[in-house]
Amino acid sequence: ADSMGCEVFTSYDLGIAGIHRLFKPLSEMIKEDIHVVIVCAGMEGTLPGIVAALVDIPVIGVPISSGYGLGEKGIGALTTMLQSCSPGLLVVNIDNGFGAGASAALIANRIAK
């Protein structure tokens, strides 16, 4: 997204195991009037659905291949995101951060016009 002319804000390690870590960075991003949020999640892939339920802007979920057991290679995270009932959650394929960034930039640039 940065190379496509968008300002990028990042936060790391905001998983649902410590959900309290999510609220401050998310609040700061909303105050900056961001247009799209990209949320990467492994294991069960719940975080993008939670973020989508909390904000009124598009959220792009990126399942990552850090899961193990039934979540093996990102399949668990992918299926969770695809089955989410949170409005505004879009999902790209496993480990497709590039596609998520490009899509976010297209959305943000279109909104900014």
pLDDT in tens, the chain (113 residues): 667 778 888 888 777 778 888 899 999 999 999 999 999 999 899 999 999 999 999 999 999 998 667 777 899 999 999 999 999 999 999 999 999 999 999 999 998 88
pTM of the model: 0.90
Domains of the chain: 35-113 (3.40.50.1970)
pLDDT of 1: 63
d(CA 95, CA 85): 22
Helix axes 47-54, 75-82, angle to 10 degrees: 30
pLDDT of 13: 78
**Contact between residue 76 and residue 44 where contact means Cβ atoms under 8 Å apart:** yes
pLDDT of 47: 94
